[in-house]
Amino acid sequence: MNYQWYPGHMTKARRQMQEDVKLIDLIIELVDARIPASSANPDINEIGKNKFRLILMNKSDLADPSMNKKWMDYYQQNGIKAIEINALNRATLKNINSIVMDVCQQKIERDRKRGIINRPLRAMVVGIPNVGKSTFINSFAGKASAKTGNKPGVTKGKQWIRLNKSIELLDTPGILWPKFESEKVGERLALIGSINDDIINTEELAITLIRYVREKYAGSLAERFKLENEDGEELILLESMAKSRGCLKSGGNYDLAKISSIVLDEFRSGKLGRITLDNPEELM
């Protein structure tokens, strides 16, 4: 299935970001730690090409710890400043203030030489839909400064948030890009919930996930859904999962739509285990 989703409001939001980038010193980009490459919007590279950058690998608590390390090594080797966070856990955010100051040290030094002292750094927070930008801002600021939601597209307008004397944040709507470079990228964005579920075939998507998890995280499905094994075609396995969870229609037929939604929800919430879909070796 070809996964593409670029509603009109994203075009408008992109144009607004191109205007707002003139006002900021730093771009803070949130990516999903389960798909760090697939969730990185390539348009941000163009929009913010002359700005300092910081990558936050959000939802790192849901991702494979060994893969988190591989991704951090990848960023370091490529000269990219990145840290692992869980936007719901404020303890993982405690070092961000000092990291922002460090990333922008050249800017601070330039200001100091011009006699400009204590001017707040302005950072634009960007990321794809449903990556957790608003949750991050609320946790970082310590109050409900930005609207949050578990559906893509909750943040609609421009919002400046004054964190402290040193940093101001500009929240932006989550945007994708007009054409995904590969079907795999589209699939993975759909799997984490960054593409509206209403426009995709959840059964096909669940089967895609089953195929990947069975190959890379053998035993996870059998354990979670109390199956004897994970043998057979993916559709047969999905039916076994439906039987295990009692997802049946009248007449005893399997309710594949219901079990597909359950499989996707349990992956997204981490109930299937800590799973990462992107591997930095794919970029090498």
Convert the pLDDT of each residue in 132-161 to its tens digit.
998 999 898 876 555 544 544 444 455 678
pLDDT digits (tens, 9 = 90+) for 154-185: 444 556 788 878 898 998 888 899 888 888 99
**214 or 155, which is more confident:** 214
Quick one: which of 53, 26, 32 has its CA closest to 268? 32
Q: Residue 272 in contact with residue 224, Cβ under 8 Å?
A: yes
Q: Is the pLDDT of residue 48 over 70?
A: yes
Q: Report how far residue 206's alpha carbon sits from residue 80's, in angstroms, rounded to the nearest whole number.
A: 33
Q: Are 262 and 276 in contact (CB under 8 A)?
A: no
How high is the pLDDT of residue 120? 87
pTM of this structure: 0.89
**pLDDT (average), residues 53-71:** 98
Nearest to 275 by CA among 34, 2, 92, 50: 34
Q: Is the torsion defined by CA of 181, 182, 186, 189 positive or negative?
A: negative
For the cut 90, the answer to whether the pLDDT of residue 275 exceeds it is yes
The top-scoring range by mean pLDDT among 38-47, 112-121, 173-182, 261-270 is 261-270
Amino acid sitting at position 136? F
Q: Quick one: pLDDT at residue 148?
A: 46
Burial status of residue 277 (CB atoms within 10 A of its CB: 0-12, 13-18, 19 or more): buried
Report residue 159 CA to chain centroid gap: 20
Closest by CA to 4, choosing from 152, 195, 193, is 195
Contact (Cβ atoms closer than 8 angstroms) between residue 134 and residue 148: yes
- Written as six digits, the tokens of 162 are 């004054």
Nearest to 151 by CA among 170, 135, 169, 171: 135
CA distance 247 to 68: 34
H helices of the chain, in order, are 8-20, 42-47, 65-77, 96-103, 105-113, 133-141, 183-192, 202-216, 220-224, 234-245, 256-268
